[in-house]
Amino acid sequence: MNIIDELTWRGAINQMSDEEELRKKVEEKSIGVYCGVDPTGDSLHIGHLIPFMMLKRFQMAGHRAHIIIGGGTGSIGDPSGRNSERVLQTMEQVHHNEEALTSQMKHLFGKDNITIVNNYDWLSKIDLLSFLRDYGKLFSINTMLNKEVVSSRLESGISFTEFTYQILQSIDFHHLLKEKDVELQIGGADQWGNITAGIDMIHKIEGSDTEAFALTIPLMLKADGTKFGKTAGGAVWLDPEKTTPYEFYQFWLNQDDRDVVKYLKYFTFLTKEEIDELAKKVAAEPEKREAQRRLAEEVTAFVHGKDAVIQAEHISKALFSGDVKMLTATEIKQGFKKMPTVEIANESMNIVDWLVSTQIEKSKRQAREDVTNGAIYINGDRIKDLDYIINPAESFEGKFVIARRGKKKYFLAKVK
């Protein structure tokens, strides 16, 4: 299947310049393709992942993938998708973020057919007068004002700094075309104006017959109309310290039946036949959630590795069954990250006193009643003995005690 046909089937194309010529190009030879990200933070989130999944598909189809980590553009701020000016970061913070994002990209893309560059390397060498003479003259203010990324900001206001962003992005495209033979730029739907501005500049400098192409990805919305990638707790990050692999797995596992097939097309490398089969199961047996489970497995393995999938499934099984004894201290740290948590001293204590001191129970009377009735579990074991002694050193490497009241109310006690 032609890569353009595959992306079309996956619903991954919003706009594309010169489709007929690009389609022919990717069939004839390996072409250079690039996608960029600015180091506004020290981790990608899953919203960032969408265009890079498309870049990964080009890489897997034998094309030469290029990633720009925008150390230069990131230092001034992209106006798209915002109603106000970005707060400029220190260059020290920008460089820290560059290193973190580069590490994530290397993990996702491996070593074959991939080049990672930083646009600070060439943008920082352009002096002001050269910028105005060599590039500023090529851009019409009228045209720039009509670009959606700028026009959407005119009412709230936009600085000259962010206004010039599309010129810098155009310079990036031209630089990669000349230095790396990159002919196609991929971006989100909001990047169409910036990418086509680059194509226009390339034609003015190199000639109108120079081949340069644009491809953008649709804005992704959930079936309920809300923006994809956000949860009640905020963004879903690729950094395991920000979003644990277990949380990451659970995010995908909990997707709506109405969205899961779309996400399988976007975020996995399963074949059309495999996804069509899973789509049938969603329609016939939605309660089994096989499509969601496969989605969670595939995306978690891609981002965090297969061992992370095994660990996430292990944590899920333990929490569902209540058999938390099977968990390691590391797994507890992941699975109980958002559970009610208290700190305790590393000392033994009677269960009734312990339940009250941790505020799991409001009174000794209630604690005694719940213990007697079998409603209290410590580290997965039901405790009905009012004389039971809790010793934190005896469980989970002496780091945690897990209490449960009733069927599902878990509490995590962390040893100080």
- Known binding-site positions for ATP: 230
The Cβ-side half-sphere exposure at 324, using a 13 Å CA radius, reads 27
Please give the Cα distance from 18 to 26 (Å, whole number). Answer: 12
Please give the Cα distance from 287 to 281 (Å, whole number). Answer: 9
In degrees and rounded to multiples of 5, residue 342 shows phi and psi of -130, 160
Residue among 82, 83, 66, 160 nearest 119 (CA)? 66
From the annotation, which residues make up the binding site for L-tyrosine?
34, 165, 169
The packing angle between helices 306-321 and 290-304, to 10°, is: 130
Name every residue whose Cβ is closer than 8 Å to that of residue 240 and which is 6 or more positions away in sequence.
248, 304, 308
Name every residue whose Cβ is closer than 8 Å to that of residue 206 and which is 6 or more positions away in sequence.
174, 177
3-state SS, residue 51: helix
- In the chain the first and final C-alpha atoms are separated, in Å, by 58
- Asked whether 366 and 360 are in contact (CB, 8 A), the reply is no
Q: Which residues pair with 378 in a beta bridge?
A: 381, 403
Structure tokens that stand for 302 in this block: 């891609």
From the annotation, which residues make up the binding site?
34, 165, 169, 230
How much is the CA Rg of the chain, to the nearest whole Å? 26
- Element at 55 (helix H, strand E): helix 46-60
Please give the Cα distance from 306 to 12 (Å, whole number). Answer: 26
Please give the Cα distance from 382 to 376 (Å, whole number). Answer: 6
Name every residue whose Cβ is closer than 8 Å to that of residue 385 and which is 6 or more positions away in sequence.
351, 371
Type of residue found at 296 = A
